[in-house]
Amino acid sequence: MDQTIMIVDDSNAIRQSVSFILKENGYDTMEACDGQDGLNKLKDQKVDLIITDVNMPNKDGITMVKELRATDTHKFTPILVLTTESQASIMQEGKSAGATGWIVKPFSNDKLISTIKKVLG
Amino acid sequence: MYKYYDNTLKKESVNLAPGEFFVSSEDIIINTILGSCVAVALYDPELKAAGLNHFMLAESKTPHTAGSVFNIERYGLYAMDALINGFIKRGSRRSRLQAKIFGGSSVLESSGGKMNIGADNIAFAEEYLSAENIPVINHDTGGDRARRIYLFPQSFRVLLRRIQPGSQLRRQMDSYRTRLEQIKGRGGDSILF
């Protein structure tokens, strides 16, 4: 069965781009347009991996990660942060919130897929 | 990027080089010189803040490109995403943003060897803004002359001067193209905690 990856980003263009790459590499995808939408859609939905942006309206990515880690469903779901942010302090916030890894944009297709494969094993 | 005092316009100014962006709600000027590159200016009327980027695509769209240009063009996506994040961090929302597009002339194409790069840059900016539902309220694009633009962030007013491309613009463009070639297919940095 294909693995399912949730993409959380407030940019239609980024979701479209990431979803295209993932589908080309055999993954199923789901999409959410901000942290709150992500929490709503992931409430009772198990996925294999979550990819999230940081700066989003309604709920930012790091707060979403914290809240997902407090749920039984996503306590251990791998979460990669995909963002333009590269400051050490924000990365530390992501790590403390429970993110599994961090990828800085602009990213190459190969880097994204190789990182996902490392995480999913 | 460097800051200076513009003696003619009597304001603090920020000059953007290719690949840079800046967002401000202050009474300053953000300016840049464009050849075949494109600059997208965004404005949030509620915050009275505007921002400007300056970019060109790292890839050329070809008839063989699958689907949207977003599927191959990470660098243009990054340039737009980084600019919009500058607004989101200030409490803005995409739904409030308005855009103006500048540049994309064919002025320097003969020295770069690639044709239609200005037109590709314009098409990317338009396609991106359309996908994000950000209205383009004005544009000055294409043609065969370089432009210098001055953005006033509080009012979203833009002054535009058409200029002849000088050797400085050519050097700037060549250096930017080299950087884009170097980053193509690379990155970004990733860390597993």
- Amino acid A116 reads I
Q: In sequence order, what E strands does chain A have? A: 4-8, 28-32, 49-52, 79-83, 101-104
Q: pLDDT tens digits, residue range B10-35? A: 999 999 988 899 999 999 999 999 99
Pairing type for strands B38-44 and B98-103 reads antiparallel
Is the ipTM higher than 0.85? The answer is yes
Looking from the CA of B44 toward its CB, the CA atoms found within 13 Å total 21
Of the residues B16, B28, B29, B37, which is catalytic? B37
Instruction: Kindly write down the DSSP assignment for every residue of B87-135, as one continuous string.
Output: HHTTT--GGG-EEEEEE--STTHHHHS-SSHHHHHHHHHHHHHHHTT--
Q: Which of B71, B77, B190 sits opposite A102 (nearest CB)?
A: B190
Spatial contact of B98 and B134, defined as CB atoms under 8 Å apart: yes
Span B89-102, mean pLDDT?
Answer: 95
Domains, chain A, with CATH or none:
4-120 (3.40.50.2300)
Token pair belonging to B102: 């500048």
Q: pLDDT tens digits, residue range B67-95? A: 555 555 667 888 999 999 999 999 999 99
Spatial contact of B54 and B172, defined as CB atoms under 8 Å apart: no
Q: What is the mean pLDDT of chain B?
A: 85
Report whether pLDDT(B177) > 90. Answer: no
How many whole angstroms separate alpha carbon A77 and alpha carbon A35?
Answer: 16
Ramachandran angles phi, psi of B161, nearest 5°: -120, 130
Report whether pLDDT(B64) > 70. Answer: no
Report whether pLDDT(B38) > 50. Answer: yes
Catalytic residue check, B55: no
**Considering only CB atoms, which chain A residues are within 8 Å of B190?**
101-104, 107, 111, 115
Domains, chain B, with CATH or none:
2-183 (3.30.1330.200)
Spatial contact of B170 and B177, defined as CB atoms under 8 Å apart: no
Span B142-165, mean pLDDT?
Answer: 93
Percentages (nearest 5) of helix, strand, coil residues in chain A: 45, 20, 40
Q: Is the dihedral of CA B61, B67, B73, B76 positive or negative?
A: positive
pLDDT value of residue A107? 82
Q: Is the dihedral of CA B80, B84, B89, B94 positive or negative?
A: negative
Pairing type for strands B98-103 and B49-53 reads unpaired
pLDDT value of residue B135? 98
- Amino acid B131 reads A
Pairing type for strands A49-52 and A79-83 reads parallel
Give the residue ranges of chain A where pLDDT is below 70. 1
Token pair belonging to B122: 């314009």
Mutate to test the interface with B, among A7, A12, A62 (most CBs of B within 10 A): A12
Spatial contact of B163 and B145, defined as CB atoms under 8 Å apart: yes
Contact at CB, B193 and A102, closer than 8 angstroms? yes
The single residue listed with the structure tokens 């009275």 is: B48
Q: Chain B residue with minimal CA distance to A82? A: B190
pLDDT value of residue A29? 97
Question: Which residue would you say has higher pLDDT here, B22 or B56?
Answer: B22
Report whether pLDDT(B185) > 90. Answer: no
Span B24-50, mean pLDDT?
Answer: 96
